[in-house]
């Protein structure tokens, strides 16, 4: 019987980095001729439920894991033991016990087990110690392979946590367009279009981009800024509009805040913009797909060197695009103003970022590397959990 790949993880809705990646990976595997089974777990529906405990969520996850265990038993009877379990471990909270159960659920067939961490928070939580940390380590130590974002975090995982089964693979997206002539056809007098697409979170830098807009407006710089996303925390939405609501009404000629952008709307925004801003403040940030997607469309990406992001910025002039100064509105505004006043640099930085994306950050490259790990031979076994 041919190998099957079972994806036990998040799927849309809601749409966020992990669910979007899993959806794309599942489709890629099927189109490549592999047999895939999807076992959705975690938050379903509302983005605001992510990383929050819920009785309904726990119940649904337990039912899904029961299905995984049942499928494993059925496959054992059919003498088909070529199976890979692929899951995306949680990096905080009680969901780490679900990850442990995910490994146990496949016990009858002793499959190849591949974990994929989509952020850089695991080591921070593990270093705190306690039962959650021990469970996290036991789960990953029992996997045949642990994929993390970028070579830098992979090295840290091997050195600090003693996990020899870790490999670093950069995220990637499908190249959407050729931006080679995007700025050649633009008149210098055109109003530069700035774009922020992410979940509306203080940690993602939504406060920073609006502060940058105010700084630019006060300097008399002409621009148009669009923000698109979905509020993750109702409390932060309230705080944001209490702080910025009045000013945003006064600046509605140059700043617009939109709800979540679906695929078609997002493509329109990316095609019509020149600079992408993601000044994340999260020290455990992963490698945001939105940032790589902006590079694919030829936008100049302005971000911060947090989490796994620096591994994406190893090309000429990238140090000017990925800077700690972008954690403040003034610092972000300074770089934006420089690019607006130097259109040749804007075009050059765009070409350099796009070349990096085409070379190293395509979804095909990422998916091929992940697939190679999924299809590798099993080595560590589930019954080794008790000895770790």
Predicted local confidence at residue 325, as pLDDT: 98
Residue 1 has pLDDT above 60, yes or no: no
Percent of the chain with pLDDT over 90: 74
For residues 329 and 387, the answer to whether their CB atoms sit within 8 Å is no
Rounded-to-integer distance, Cα 86 and Cα 99, Å: 11
Helix (H, G, I), strand (E, B), or coil: what is residue 229? coil
pLDDT tens digits for range 271-306: 999 999 999 999 999 999 999 999 999 999 999 999
Rounded-to-integer distance, Cα 295 and Cα 244, Å: 29
Q: Is 308 left (phi over 0), alpha (psi -120 to 50) or beta?
A: alpha
Residue 259 has pLDDT above 80, yes or no: yes
Predicted local confidence at residue 186, as pLDDT: 44
Band (206; pLDDT cuts 50, 70, 90): very high
The average confidence (pLDDT) of the chain is: 88
Find the largest Cα–Cα distance for the chain: 72
Predicted local confidence at residue 380, as pLDDT: 42
Percent of the chain with pLDDT over 70: 87
Band (144; pLDDT cuts 50, 70, 90): very high
Q: Which residues pair with 300 in a beta bridge?
A: 275
Mean pLDDT over 307-325 rounds to: 97
pTM: 0.86
Alpha helices in the chain (DSSP H): 17-31, 55-77, 95-105, 122-127, 131-141, 151-161, 206-218, 234-250, 263-272, 289-296, 318-321, 329-341, 343-360, 363-375
Residue 162 has pLDDT above 80, yes or no: yes
pLDDT tens digits for range 59-72: 888 888 888 888 87
For residues 35 and 4, the answer to whether their CB atoms sit within 8 Å is yes
For residues 377 and 109, the answer to whether their CB atoms sit within 8 Å is no
- Which stretch of 10-14, 123-127, 166-170, 215-219 has the lowest confidence by average pLDDT? 10-14
Helix (H, G, I), strand (E, B), or coil: what is residue 234? helix
For residues 236 and 200, the answer to whether their CB atoms sit within 8 Å is yes
Rounded-to-integer distance, Cα 16 and Cα 46, Å: 11
- Which stretch of 127-131, 154-158, 259-263, 320-324 has the lowest confidence by average pLDDT? 259-263
């Amino acid at each position: 019987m041919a190998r099957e790949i079972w994806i036990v993880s998040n799927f849309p809705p809601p749409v966020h980095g992990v669910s979007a990646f899993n959806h794309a990976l599942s489709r890629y595997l099927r189109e490549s001729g592999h047999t895939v089974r999807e076992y959705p777990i975690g938050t379903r529906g509302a983005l605001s439920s992510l990383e929050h405990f819920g009785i309904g969520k726990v119940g649904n996850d337990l039912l899904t894991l029961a299905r995984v265990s049942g499928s494993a038993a059925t496959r054992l009877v059919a003498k088909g033991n070529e199976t890979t379990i692929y899951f995306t471990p949680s990096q905080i909270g009680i969901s780490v016990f679900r990850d442990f159960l995910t490994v146990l659920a496949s016990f009858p067939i002793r499959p190849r087990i591949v974990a994929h961490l989509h952020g850089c928070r695991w080591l921070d939580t593990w270093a705190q110690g306690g039962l959650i940390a021990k469970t996290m380590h036991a789960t990953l130590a029992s996997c045949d392979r642990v994929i993390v974002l970028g070579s830098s975090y992979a090295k840290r995982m091997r050195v600090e946590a003693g996990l020899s089964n870790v490999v670093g693979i950069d995220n990637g997206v499908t190249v959407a367009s050729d931006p080679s002539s995007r700025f050649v056809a633009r008149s210098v007098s055109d109003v530069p279009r700035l774009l922020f697409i992410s979940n509306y979170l203080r940690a993602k830098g939504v406060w920073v981009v609006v502060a940058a807009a105010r700084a630019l407006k006060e300097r008399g710089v002409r621009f148009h800024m669009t923000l698109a996303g979905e509020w993750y925390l109702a409390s932060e939405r309230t705080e944001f509009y209490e702080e910025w609501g009045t000013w945003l009404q006064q600046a509605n000629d140059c700043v617009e805040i939109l709800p979540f952008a679906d695929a078609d709307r997002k493509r329109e925004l990316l095609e019509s913009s020149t600079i992408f801003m993601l000044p994340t403040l999260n020290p455990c940030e992963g490698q945001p797909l939105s940032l790589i997607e902006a590079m694919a469309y030829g936008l100049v990406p302005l971000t911060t060197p947090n989490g796994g992001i620096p591994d994406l910025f190893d090309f000429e002039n990238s140090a000017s695009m990925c800077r700690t100064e972008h954690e403040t509105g003034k610092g972000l505004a300074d770089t934006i103003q420089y690019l607006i006043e130097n259109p040749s640099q804007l075009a050059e930085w765009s070409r350099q970022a796009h070349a990096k994306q085409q070379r190293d950050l395509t979804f095909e490259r990422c998916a091929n590397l992940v697939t190679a790990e999924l299809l590798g031979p099993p080595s560590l076994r589930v019954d080794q959990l008790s000895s770790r």
